[in-house]
Chains A and B, each alone.
Chain A
Amino acid sequence: MSAELFPMRRAPGCPFDPPPAARAKQEEGPLARVGLWDGSTPWLVTRHAEQRALMADPRVSADITRPGYPSSAPIPPGGTSISFILMDDPEHGRLRRMVTAPFATKRVQALRPAIQRIVDDLVDELLAGPNPVDLVDAFALPVPSLVICELLGVPYADHEYFQDSSKTIVKRDVSTEQRTAAMGKLMSYLDDLVGTKMEHPADDLLSGLATRVEAGELTRSEAAQMGVLLLIAGHETTANMIALGTLALFENPDQLALLRDSDDPTLVASAVEELLRYLNITHSGRRRVATADIPVGDQVIRAGEGLIMANDIANRDAEVFPDPDRLDLRRDARRHLAFGFGVHQCLGQQLARLELQVVYSTLYRRIPTLELATDLDKVPFKHDGAVYGVYELPVRW
């Protein structure tokens, strides 16, 4: 029997739920063989407990160059340039630590007033602009873009240029050539910017990297790679959480009302965790490869076998989250795996949390009549995206 192809399809009319075939595998057991585009048959790890344990297991590698790594697309000649997320320690740790401080919890929390100002200004512009409008273009994308540009020291005026490239990079169904070309464009953009920061350092993350390049701790190309990674990760993900989260709240009006009518920061924080658990915009799974034999239940993952940790189904695991398909902003969802687990867990998670807290606590209170301006079945979902979400979200008020 040939293994079912991964990624699987969502059910029609259920845009927020993981593919039924993946849920069925979860019910059968913690491990299931799936087929990839290249004919390989890695393990799909289906449950929360096993995903958590394996992502923290030192016998499990994130190194994309290892044989057996279940790559989501062909690796272009010359390798990929997505930096330390596809490396193991100690190299991963050395590079990650160079950019960790600006994302530290208390440093990020100090950005709250600045982020609130960005969000308030964008809501002002929304209210003064056309109605209906596409929320993705007018709000969901600008919020994280403005924030990450500020933090990195990337001129926001260039956003159309880099958003165009990053959109191509995070699509599932583009050719290797297209993806490589887009990556090349972004790399050379960031490389130029690192050069500029070497000559004119400012108080931003890229200037910090430029200083390390001058000190010989980092090559210029490594610095540019990190810039690309942080720029893409910093806006594609949060933008999709804003737009898809808003749509999920439109479809759950009692939950939307709860958020709109509350000024309790604890409820807002809990709502963010629950929407992260429920939506799973990173719907292609975390990819890993075993470096030793690892027993799981009555099966053994062999050294060299690929692993796909599908967080969308782990976050709907009823063992951990009772009544998992219900969006319940009051539940304790903090054990979700939306940011992954292990040493690769999302570096920008505190920034994402803060941006989403500010957005979810501001947008619906300031525009209480905000609603979907089309039918749910006419909304274009990113089924083909490495990051899930909506391409457009027409709203009115």
Chain B
Amino acid sequence: MKVTVDEDRCCGAGQCVLLAPDVFDQRDEDGIVVLLDPAPRPDLHEAVREAAEVCPAAAIEIAEGP
């Protein structure tokens, strides 16, 4: 799995951090998404998929694969 985030789209709702705190964080100055791990380990994949699904700004993209 490869994860990318779009900082321009992000509205800082923080859902991704709630669901997958090891993969996502938010910038100190404006709360915009920070990608901590673009290639998360398999046991985090389900949480990352849910984070992308509930992101209100569609700012998380996932490419599934080895």
Contact = CB atoms under 8 A, between A and B. Distances in A.
B44 interface: no
Interface string A81-104: 000000000000100111011111
Interface of A: 55-56, 93, 96-98, 100-108, 334-335, 339-347, 349-350, 353
A328 to B, nearest CB: 19
A350 B58 contact: no
Contacts of A342: 56-57
Given A97-B31, A350-B18, A104 B56 contact: no
Contact of B31 (A101, A335, A343, A346): A101
Nearest to B56: A345
Interface string B31-55: 1100000000000000000100110
Contacts of A98: 30
Nearest to A337: B56
Contacts of A101: 12, 26-31
A61 B27 CA distance: 27
A96 B11 contact: yes
Given A101-B30, A340-B56, 19 more contacts: A56-B57, A98-B30, A100-B30, A100-B32, A101-B29, A103-B14, A104-B26, A106-B21, A107-B26, A335-B54, A341-B56, A343-B9, A343-B56, A345-B56, A346-B13, A347-B12, A347-B13, A349-B13, A349-B14
B32 to A, nearest CB: 7
Contacts of A334: 50, 54
A88 to B, nearest CB: 12
A343 B13 CA distance: 8
B17 interface: yes
A97 B29 CA distance: 9
Main secondary structure of the interface of A (DSSP, over half): helix
5 contacts: A97-B12, A97-B30, A107-B26, A345-B11, A353-B18
Contacts of A56: 56-58
A106 B27 CA distance: 10
Given A56-B57, A342-B56, A104 B14 contact: yes
A100 B56 contact: no
Nearest to A97: B30
B11 A104 contact: no
Contacts of B9: 343
Nearest to A100: B31
Contact of B18 (A55, A105, A107): A105
Contacts of B25: 106
Contacts of B53: 335
10 closest cross-chain pairs (CB), A and B:
A100-B31, A105-B14, A105-B17, A345-B56, A100-B12, A104-B26, A343-B11, A104-B31, A97-B30, A101-B31
A55 B14 CA distance: 18
Contact of A345 (B13, B17, B27): B13
B26 A343 contact: no
B59 to A, nearest CB: 9
Contacts of B15: 349
Nearest to B18: A105
B51 to A, nearest CB: 11
Contacts of B27: 101
A56 B30 CA distance: 21
* Of listed A55, A101, A341, residue having the most chain B CB within 10 A: A101
